[in-house]
Amino acid sequence: MADLFPNGTRETRASCELYLPHALKAAAWVNAKAYSSQTPPLLERIDYYYWGQGRPNEAEQPEVQVLALYKEVLGEKHPDTILAIRNLADTWRRQGRLNEAEQLEIQALLLYKEVLGKKHPDTIYAMGDLAHI
C-alpha cells in the first residue's frame, strides 16, 4: 500500500481520495501486528495529502503515529524521529496550540544540537521554527 498511495500532490489527489480508506486500514493493521518499515512513509503520505486538502486536524493523527513508531524503533535521537517531532510541532502551531508546539520545538532543537551539532542546517532550521512560534 505504501507504494500505491500517491504523494498527495495536486495531480494525485483523486487517486489519494480513492486509496485513502485502504491506506488507513493497511496502516492500522500493520501497526496492530508488527512494525513495518513501509508504515511511516505511508502515514507521511497520508499526512501530506491531508495538509494539501486543508485538513490539519486529520493530519495530526498520522504524525502522532509516525512519531510513536520512530521513537519505538529508531529511538528518540534518530534524525527521522526528530523530524517527526518537528512535523507534529508544525501541525500544532497551525492548529493554534502554541504552547504545546513550542515544547516540541524546544525538544527537537535540543536533540538536534546533541545529535548533529549546533551548526548543522537541521539544527538551524529548528531554531527558526522555534522563533516562528
Mean pLDDT within 53-71: 91
CA dist., res. 22 & res. 1, Å (int): 8
In the chain, the percentage of residues whose pLDDT exceeds 90 is 53
Cα 11 to Cα 17, 55, 71, 78: the distances in Å are 12, 18, 33, 32
Instruction: Tell whether the model's pLDDT for residue 7 goes beyond 80.
Output: no
Mean pLDDT within 18-40: 77
In the chain, the percentage of residues whose pLDDT exceeds 70 is 95
What's the pLDDT score for residue 34?
A: 58
Structure confidence by residue, pLDDT tens digits, 39-54: 888 898 899 899 888 8
This prediction's pTM: 0.85
What's the pLDDT score for residue 25?
A: 86
What's the pLDDT score for residue 13?
A: 84
Extents of the domains making up the chain: 1-73, 75-133
Q: Which long-range contacts (CB under 8 A, 24 or more apart) does 91-95 make?
A: 91/56, 91/59, 91/60, 91/63, 92/60, 93/132, 93/133, 94/56, 95/56, 95/57, 95/60
What's the pLDDT score for residue 104?
A: 97
Mean pLDDT rounded to a whole number for the chain: 89
Cα 107 to Cα 62, 83, 85, 101, 102: the distances in Å are 20, 11, 8, 10, 9
Structure confidence by residue, pLDDT tens digits, 68-112: 989 988 999 999 999 999 999 999 998 999 999 999 999 999 999
